[in-house]
Amino acid sequence: MATNTSQEYDSIIAVCKSLFLKKTNDYGTAWRILRPSSITDQIFIKAQRIRTLEEKKVSKVGEDITSEYIGIVNYCIIGMIQLDMGPEDPNELEVALVERLFDEKANDTKELMFAKNHDYGEAWRDLRISSLTDLILMKIFRVKQIEDNLGQTLASEGVDANYQDMLNYAVFALIRLGVK
């Protein structure tokens, strides 16, 4: 069966965006108060919970791995938006602006995915989902180190590139999990 990565990717992003916009309508943009390090910690919590669920095979709070990967996608988008906005920007953003910013970040990240897919082939399709979780956790620890170094790197990509990689790994996991 032939795969269409672009369509699968867009389908996953549509699921994530739908939830993101519903929560924006419910809560506004309360996330604007979060510092980048807090966003990184939120992604860590979600990835660590996925890893725990992968190992223990049981959830006591009723949310599954799928919802956690969706959360990672959405927190990565939040992180990228926050990196572009400063404290002088308003905390409360209009839903239409949030949607436009979400689309920009998702599209930029999809373009990066296709560039990397060109070089790597679609190797992610052969990875275990647990490996995608571990890659996200590794990226989180990289981001934490960059944040602890006040954003200074000698030879590495910045926080935004790591958010993009984590977003793509989460989308790959959702594709592999068969989310529609």
**Averaged pLDDT of the chain:** 93
Where is average pLDDT lowest: 40-44, 53-57, 96-100, 168-172? 53-57
Q: Does the predicted model carry a pTM greater than 0.85?
A: yes
| Angstrom distances, CA of residue 64 to CA of 27, 41, 71, 103, 129 | 22, 19, 11, 26, 14
Q: What is the model's pLDDT at position 120?
A: 83
CA torsion sign, 103 to 105 to 110 to 115? positive
- The pLDDT of residue 118: 77
pLDDT digits (tens, 9 = 90+) for 11-42: 999 999 999 999 999 999 999 999 999 999 99
pLDDT at 2 over 60: no
